[in-house]
């Protein structure tokens, strides 16, 4: 079964990240994964990769509510950045606020807004969606 090449997980919850790591393994989701605890560290890595011509992630699973730099701030920076690689961003949040869902979908690289908790079935479906895009 195919795998996504490179994935960013951007979420400040260590328990969520632990569970996500296990689900990524069970689903053979990605060849390579980088975890970030806030939008700032993810952005610094992303921006460095753009600047140096390194591999960009194929998919970013992005939480919204994080310290230091939240998901909205990260999305604002990505929106203004110049790069040609087709990065697919999925907002993964516990919020069911329709305004946040609508706002997320205004960003050009956001494919979808998915509510937590992430389950094995959600990861399987997400993997297939990403591979088919």
Q: Answer positive or negative: Cα dihedral of 105, 84, 44, 76.
A: negative
pTM, entire model: 0.95
User: Which pLDDT belongs to residue 133?
Assistant: 85
Examine residue 30 and say whether the peptide bond preceding it is cis (omega within 30 degrees of 0). no
Whether 27 shows a pLDDT value over 70: the answer reads: yes
Q: In percent, how much of the chain has pLDDT > 70?
A: 99
Domains and CATH numbers, the chain: 4-132 (3.40.50.2300)
pLDDT-derived band at 9 (thresholds 50, 70, 90) equals: very high
pLDDT tens, residue by residue, 45-90 = 999 999 999 999 999 999 999 999 999 999 999 999 999 999 999 9
Q: Between vectors from CA 130 to CA 96 and to CA 9, what angle results, nearest 5°? A: 60
The candidate with the shortest Cα–Cα distance to 79, out of 114, 110, 41, 45, is: 110
> Are the C-beta atoms of 4 and 127 separated by less than 8 Å?
yes
């Amino acid at each position: 079964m195919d795998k996504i090449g490179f994935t960013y997980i951007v979420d400040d919850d260590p328990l969520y990240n632990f569970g996500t790591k296990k689900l990524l393994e069970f689903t053979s989701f990605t060849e390579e994964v980088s975890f970030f605890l806030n939008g700032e560290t993810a952005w610094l890595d992303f921006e460095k990769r753009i600047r140096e011509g390194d591999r960009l992630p194929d998919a970013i699973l992005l939480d919204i509510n994080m310290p230091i730099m939240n998901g909205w701030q990260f999305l604002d920076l990505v929106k203004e950045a110049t790069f040609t690689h087709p990065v697919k961003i999925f907002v993964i949040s516990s919020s069911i606020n329709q305004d946040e869902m609508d706002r997320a979908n205004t960003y050009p690289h956001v494919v979808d807004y998915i509510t937590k908790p992430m389950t094995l079935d959600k990861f399987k479906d997400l993997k297939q969606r990403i591979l088919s895009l």
